[in-house]
Amino acid sequence: MKRRASSRAVGLPVLLAFLLMAAGCSTGYGTHRMEFDSITGFEGAVGEPESMDFPDQVRRWPWPIRQIEGSGFDLLFAFLIGIQPTPREVDDPGRRLRLATLGMAEKAGDDLGRIADATHRLLWLAYYDPQPLDQMTTLSGIESLMVSLGADPLQSPQVSRDAPRQLEVEERALTVLAEYLGAVDRARRDDQRLELQPADREVLATALAVLAARPSPHAPTGRRAVRMLLATARELGSDDLGEVARYALADRCAAELGWMIRILSVDSRIDVRMAAIHSLVRLSGPHAVAFTLAQDPRRREAHLDIRRTWVRLCGGMPIEFAERGWGDGPSPLEFLFDTIRDDEDEGLRLVATDAMARLLGRPVSLDPAWVEEFWRARSFSEIRPLDAAAAPSGRRESPEGVR
């Protein structure tokens, strides 16, 4: 006699299959953040760790819950089968951290609260984690957040030249926010609602404007500003000042993230620096190449891989950017000519010769004689031979990654 399978035995797999299809098998923001915090010891609401120490175990949901997290069914399913996130051994916590980092940035979407929450964590990770692979992963996440914010790192304000003065002003503004949040907390404990007086609103609005102005010269202060602006925006809610706080929060996130990319494009390990240069170009456009050239006064002594990156980016950009320098730095065309004439590496000189031909829409030639002839004609002619309209129609307008 055959036994009939119990309804429970049949029902759970069917329920799980239905929930997985409904969720699209996509891990949500909250799960990525929980795993990030478990690996790093990060507690965004109260502070942040001062070092990186990977644990042996990571707090995680079981696999079925991870796949439906954020779908609306996750907590229901967890309740039905009686499970909670628990510490679980992982073979490679560094890999789990990288996955969680990218997951937070991608799942933040256009939710400003999540963007700010992820910004705080990724800025901290970029500051404390020295591993190049982790830094490049963090850089990818930062780029995703900048895209979500619709921000251009080269249009964001820079740190003030008077750093001590800026820090002093920022600390006063952060004190105002701390006092406001403290007053809200005290009122909540007394089951009351805090009512701001006109003078208090003016002081708070001024503090918000100060904190939105520019990135901090002190990285921990910059992260604290993001955290406190987020808390303030949440408390103000639909209040008129709430909109001011949200704009300030978005501006501050963009400023801090953009400043981090700019720092990594100049002062970091070779592979991280190359990744940051490409990130700047993707976010800001081809003129970011001239910016990165101008930021390195010792560019001729830069590592060969960095110089090669510049050459390839210069050779692939639209011709209208060829003679646009940044500040006192060389234009892309000037950089290519200097490389062809002076670089110590013969292979790079040949690559630069090819890049200049592609930039100018000429037939590819590795003979540097035409470069000297072109440069003499350019130097003595009142009419420059570069004209975007003269570029051949079949010429590639933008290399891969330069958009």
- Residue-by-residue pLDDT tens, the chain, 403 positions: 444 444 444 444 444 444 434 434 446 788 889 889 888 888 765 678 777 777 676 766 666 666 665 555 655 666 566 666 666 677 788 888 999 999 999 999 999 999 999 999 999 999 988 899 999 999 999 999 999 999 999 998 888 889 999 999 999 999 999 999 999 999 999 888 888 899 999 999 999 999 998 999 999 999 999 999 999 999 998 888 999 999 999 999 999 999 999 999 998 899 999 999 999 999 999 999 999 999 998 888 899 999 999 999 999 999 999 999 999 999 999 999 999 999 999 999 999 999 999 999 999 888 888 999 899 888 765 445 454 433 333 333 333 333 2
CA 326 – CA 76 distance, rounded (Å): 56
Token digits of residue 395: 């010429």
Burial classification of residue 99, based on how many CB atoms lie within 10 Å of its CB (0-12 exposed, 13-18 middle, 19 or more buried): middle
Which residue, among 255, 257, 254, 235, has the nearest Cα to 245 in the 3D structure? 235
Please say whether the beta carbons of 275 and 395 come within 8 A. Answer: no
Packing angle of the helix pair 219-236, 112-128 (nearest 10 deg): 160
Please say whether the beta carbons of 288 and 254 come within 8 A. Answer: no
CA 114 to mean position of chain CA atoms: 14
Dump the DSSP string for 305-316.
HHHHHHHHHHHH
Alpha carbon of 143 to those of 258, 276, 308, 371: distances in Å? 9, 9, 23, 37
The reported pLDDT for the residue numbered 160 is 87
What are phi and psi for residue 157, nearest 5 degrees? -65, 155
Please say whether the beta carbons of 59 and 33 come within 8 A. Answer: no
Domain ranges of the chain: 10-107, 108-268, 285-390
The reported pLDDT for the residue numbered 89 is 73
pTM of the model: 0.82
- How are beta strands 57-60 and 86-89 bridged, if at all? antiparallel
